[in-house]
Every structure is written in C-alpha cells, then in structure tokens.
Structure 1
Amino acid sequence: MNELKPFLSATRAAIRELPLYNSGLSIDYVRKHYGVEKIAKLGSNENPYGPSPKVIAAVANAAPEIAMYPEASCDSLRVVLAEYLQVAPEQLIFGNGSEDLISVAVHTFLSPGDRVVTFAPSFGLHVIWPQAVGAEVSTVSIGVDYRMDVDQVIAALTPGTRMLLFGNPSNPAGTSITAEDLRSILRHLTPETLVLFDEAYLEYAMADPSYPDFHAILAEFDIPWLMLRTFSKAYGLAGLRIGYAIASDPVMIQLMDRVRAPFNVNRLAQIGAIAALGDRAYVDTVVERTVAERERMRAALEQMGYPSAPSNANFLFLDARDNAAEVARRLLPGGVIVKPWMEPAFNTHVRVSVGSIEANDQFLAAWKALAH
C-alpha cells in the first residue's frame, strides 16, 4: 500500500477532496442488517407503481437483442421525443440518467477555476460534478420558506459566472421558482453564462395548473441554456437509466457529443423510453395518484406538528428537529428508508419520497412513534 502513496498524492486535490454522493440505502441492505421483510423504501424518489405495462412488454420483446450495441445517438427515440416536445431533433442529447448529462455538460463547458452558482440545499451532483473538473462552486441558500431568494441569486451572478445550475422543482425541497423570478434572473445573465435547468420532476410539477412552461421562458432569451429531464421518475424507468437534455442551440449538442461516452444509453432503455412516451395516460394516472398521496402525507405530518416544504415533486422535505442521520437510522428497524440531509444548515431535515399507500402508512406510523 505504501508504494501507492506517491501516485495517489499526485492526484488532483479537486478529486481527493470530493464528497461521496449519498445514493441511499437499498432494500436488500436493510433486510440483511435489520432483519425486517416489509420495507418502505422512501429515500430515492422512485415511482412505486413502476413503468407502464407497455414498457415492460417492449423491453421483454427486445431482450434477445442485447448482444448488439444500441443506437449510438438514440436516433429512433430522438425522432419520437422531438415530435412530442416540438423541438428540433438536433437540440436533444441523451444520457445514462440525467445526472450523466450533468457530468457531460460540466466536462464540456467548464474549466478549472470557472465559477458556478447553485443552491443549498441541492442535489449533490450539482456541486460534486463541477468540483470534479476544478470549478469553484458558490451556493445561495434557500430561505426559511424553502424557496429561492431571487435577489441573492442575482447578487451572486458576477460577470465571470460560467454556469448557473439548479433544479426546478428543487431537490430536496420540492419548491418551484415563479415565471417572473426566472425572467428576472435571466435578464441579469450575459451570453457567457450557461443556465443548466434541471427539471427532473417536471411531470409531477405539471399537475399544478400554475406551473409555468419554463422551456418557453428560456427560449425567450438569447443566452445558452440546457434543460435536463429524465424518464426515471414519473415514467418509472429509474433502473434502466435514461435522461435527456434540450439545448438552446444544436452546436452545444455537437460539443457534448465529443465528451459523452459512446453508447451511453443502453438498448433496453431506449426501447423502454419510446414505449413510455406512447402511454401518456399511464403517466397521468401515476402522477394523479402520487400527488394525492403527497398531500395526504403532508396533512398527516402537519397534524403531528411537522410541516413540510410546499412540494411540487414526488417527495416531502421536513425538519425533524433532531440530527437527520440519527432520525433516519432510528426508522430503519421498522423497515422505513428515508434520506437524511447532510448539508450543515439543513442537517436536521429529512426527505421522504411518496410511495404506495401501504408504504406511506408504514412511514407515517413509524414517524408518529418516533415523534412521541
């Protein structure tokens, strides 16, 4: 091991100092370590209803083809999705989940020393991936109402800011920016700043009739932007790993194609995504059921004295008023998995996904026992 020290010490400090992404606990881990069979896995914002039956059938039919490489540029999916979104096919790029595309974007457009503005708390990779390439990340903390402070964002956007990166609805809070607030921010940007707008929870947010068309708003401005979306959440394809991005200009896609791994989206994921797009009625049903359960959980938690952030996503974010990691640990013997938040200003908060009725009831019962 000592012989490895000179090699490892020469590794860039930006890599040695990176935090590990908290990917959450698996069902198998909890069963093995806590001896419980009935698990409410509510830590990863997964769709408890799974994908459309049409997806399962399409993937099963395609299984004999897995010996062959997939379409390198997702051409068949590209045509279907471009028509659905009413964008040019050349504006689309696909990844092994949308987080893959965050990595591709930062490796394409950031250099060591570049300045990135994002938010706290945030999806961990919004910070980790830029830091991995040596960028300097500045965070703007959300307010006590769990919403973005637009004035603070504008103040943080110095002329040298290379990238503005944030999720909407935000992860972990689930809150959304308003149309006018986004326009206010965009008016303060120059063409030297890339806006990376992560809309992973779009389908759930759209259940609110007041949720704006942020794609149309971004298109109003002559600045570079990337809008990230995924099939992992409402479409139920988390295990297949497929996300996509819409770019303001096809030239950006051409550059990112030089960085992304060849064949970065597997054959079954592409076929599953096409089938998922063909069953919008199923997705609408999933969203309707999830939103109803989210509001039921919110009301139950508030009745216990634990109000949560006003979420537009498929999860709730609440202050446990205790160390979040310890709270999450105490829930595990009851078979309940939630995600404790570790960022210093929010380390008493947990994020709980909206699962099935049964899983949600299991969580609420465990939380009530813990709180009393």
Structure 2
Amino acid sequence: MYASNTFARTEVQALNGYNAGLSIEAVQERHGVLRVAKLGSNENPLGISPKALAALTAEAHQAALYPNQSCGILRNALAHKLAIDGKNLVFGNGSEDLLSIICRVFLDHGDQVVTILPSFGLHIIYPQAAGAEVIGVPMGSDMRVDVQALMAAMTPRTRLLMFSSPSNPVGSALNSAELQYVIDNLPPHTLLVFDEAYFEYANGEADYPDCLEMLQKSQCHYIVLRTFSKAYALAGLRIGYGITSDPALAELIDRLRTPFNVNRCAQAAATAALADNEHLIASIQHVRSERSRINKVLQQDLGLQPIPSLANFIFFSSPLAVDSVNLSLLQQGVITKPWAEAGYRQFLRVSIGSCEDNNLFLQALENALHQ
C-alpha cells in the first residue's frame, strides 16, 4: 500500500507550508473572545475605496461571463500611470500567483535562487517546489539588506535574485546607493525579481529611491512585482501585477498563467482603486501616523527596539518567549505574526491597523510582557 505522499514530487514532499496567519473566526472560536484585532496579515484598515466598491458592485452582475483575459482596461490605466508600454505588464491572482508562475517559467533542477533572510516565505517555497536550491543571505546586524554579501552569494548557477524592498517581514528597504550596487553587480545570467508589494507606503520617503526608474535606466533583466492587496485594500479580490524589462519576459510568463487568472470583479475594482488617489493618500497617511505612534510606545513605554519600517507593519524582538507572548495576545483578542523562520524566532510582526485595534494591541502587549 503506497502512502499518499509518495504520489507527489520529491520537492513537494519536502516543502514547508506557508504560514498564512490566523483568521478572526478561528481566534474567536479558540479563545472565546468577541473583539479581535486582526494585525497579522498587513491589510488596509481603511478598507476598500468607495470608488472601487462602486465599481465592484456594478461589475457583479457580469459574474456569469469570463473576464478579459489580458486585463485590457486595467492594463491601459496602469501603463498610462507608470508611463510604460502595456506589453511589459503581467497580471496575477495576487502577486503571489506571479511568484509561482515566475518560478515555474524560469527555474529548473540545478538552478539557484538567492534571497534575503528573514524572508517572505514564498520566495523560498516556490523556488524549492520548482527544484531549485535557495541561498539565503542574512540581513546585517542593523536588519538592513547586506548588498555586498547578497551579491557575493551569486554563482554561475544563480538564475534568480528575488527579494522584497521594503522587506517583508522587516520593513527596511534599499536606498539608492544600495540598489545601484545590486544593479552594477548583477550577473547577466541572473533575472532580478524585485518584490515591491509595499511600494506605495515607501514611495516618497526620503531614503526610498524610484526603483523602477533606476532599473529602466540599467541593462538588467528584471521583473518588478506590485499588488493591489496592501495600500489599495483589495486583498480579498487577489490581484497583483508585474513590470518586466522586456515584453518577451511578459510573453513567457503569460504562457504559463491560467487564461482567466484575474476575475472581472477584481479587474474593475483595481481600475477604480487606481484612480482613487484620495483614498490611497488617506491610507498611507494613516499608516505613517500610526506607525510613528506605535514605535514611540514600543520604545519609550515598553522598552523594546522595533526595526525602522517603511511598510505597514513593524518587526520587533520580544524579551520573553515569543510563543507565550503570542498566546497571551491571542487570548486578549490580538492577532500578530510570530516569525517562525530559524534565526528570527524571537521576533513578531504586527500590522498597522485602525487606531482602536492598535490601542488594543499595545495594551495587550503590555499585559503580555508584565504578566
């Protein structure tokens, strides 16, 4: 009698599952709490924009019809906003979908992928699933990307250099000089997959460069990934996009994506959200204001040292065992994300939520640290 797992490829049998975090319902049922602050998934506490909601509602009556497989209207709107050729754009069921497709298109057994540690889990899981070896380069003691160590890890087998900036889970980001160092030292046989899921929150900050402009001026082969899940508040609709250095890269990705991988409601809502600059600005301003307030409390009142972040979350080390702190937070109705990656298990990541949810988190954390 064969065991069920023997039917799977060897690489899949060895994979760790992605830690997607807990739902509100699961915490309510498990811990008997009514009020839950969901601060583990980096969602937008302001919710969907009114314009996007109206577009979503108007499109719902067309749900019986297949969507535009090329995301035509959204493609044109994004191409205009980014001042690029629409042929350089690819779309996915969230940028996570594109990560999966990219790994299946460009990786094979014997290839290597270089990424940073701590890492967004899918930057490791998807390459491993494709049979590639993943080389993780730890951040420096300041919890910033060590670009010299990163580029020193390149070998003739390095097919992809894939990491996020701002980093998930840390929140730190490359500055102009650091990105230029990566560009100048990227081997010609390596494709840069630059994950900017948190771009909107970092854009405009003093130390954050115009990464797309710098890459466009280079000779690099690249794919810049962005999403409508975070600042645009469409996480539940699953829609992300990639900007490629060459239409040929986009065409290769399109060969392996499913024909209708972005549903018509998501396309309509994303197009409307892209045009609702007022809601985007309000979302960014809320995060920056609350992030500053939470950092101040963590440092001055709780004696912690959160990592400076340009994203909509904060990464901090706990002086007590993370498992006990996390359990205490859950029992008080607060979901955060204790980091499970080896070498970083003393850290938690907390999303910036509503003012009320943030207050609940700060009080619950104080209770957890002094119980």
Name the TM-score, length of structure 2 as normaliser.
Answer: 0.97
Aligned-CA RMSD value: 1.1
Q: How does 1:24-35 map to 2 (within 5 A)?
A: 24-35=21-32
Q: Aligned residue for 2:9?
A: 12
- Give 3-state SS (helix, strand or coil) of 2:237's partner: coil
CA deviation map 1:64-88 (0-9, x unaligned)? 1101010111011100110011110
Paired residues for 1:344-359 under 5 Å = 344-359=342-357
Q: Match of 1:343, as an amino acid? A: E
Aligned to 1:316: 314
Amino acid in structure 1 at the alignment position of 2:129: A
SS in 1 for 2:155: coil
1:140 aligned partner: 137
Which residue type is aligned with residue 24 of structure 2? I
Deviation track 1:246-287 (CA, whole Å, cap 9, x = no partner) reads 000000011111111110001100000000011112101110
* 1:105-254 equivalent positions in 2, closer than 5 A: 105-254=102-251
Percent sequence identity is 47
Matched position secondary structure for 1:344: coil
Matching residue of 1:81: 78
How far did 1:218 drift? Answer: 1.1
2:273 corresponds to 1:276: yes
Q: Secondary structure at the match of 2:343?
A: helix
Distance in 2, Cα, partners of 1:216 & 1:305 = 40
Q: Tell me which residue corresponds to 2:365.
A: 367
C-alpha distance in 2, partners of 1:149/1:310?
Answer: 16
Gaps spanning 5+ residues in structure 2: where?
none
Structure 1 Cα separation of the partners of residues 107 and 325 of structure 2 = 38
Amino acid at match of 1:369: N
Pairs within 5 Å for 1:300-311: 300-303=297-300, 304-311=302-309
Take 1:64 and 1:154, find their aligned partners in 2: how far apart are those partners?
A: 51
Task: Please tell me whether the aligned partners of residues 325 and 369 of structure 2 are also in contact (alpha carbons under 8 angstroms).
Answer: no
For the residue of structure 1 that corresponds to 2:225, the secondary structure is strand
Cα distance between partner residues in 1 of 2:146 and 2:28: 42
Give, in angstroms, the shift of residue 333 of structure 1.
Answer: 1.0
CA distance in 2, matches of 1:94, 1:287: 24
Q: What is the alpha-carbon distance in structure 1 between the residues aligned to residue 81 and residue 7 of structure 2?
A: 48
Shift of 1:4: 3.8
Pick one of 262, 282, 286 that aligns with 2:283.
286
Between 194-203 and 146-155, the greater mean CA deviation after superposition: 146-155
Residue 8 of structure 1, CA deviation:
3.2
**Partner SS state of residue 238, structure 2:** coil
Once the two structures are TM-superposed, the CA of residue 207 in structure 1 deviates from its matched residue by 4.2
CA distance in structure 1 between the partners assigned to 2:236 and 2:190 by the alignment: 33
Q: TM-score, normalised by structure 1?
A: 0.97
Map Cα deviations across residues 140-190 of structure 1 (whole Å, 9 max, x no partner): 001221101122112101232110000000000000011111111221222
Aligned residues: 369
- Deviation at residue 10 of structure 1 after TM alignment: 4.9
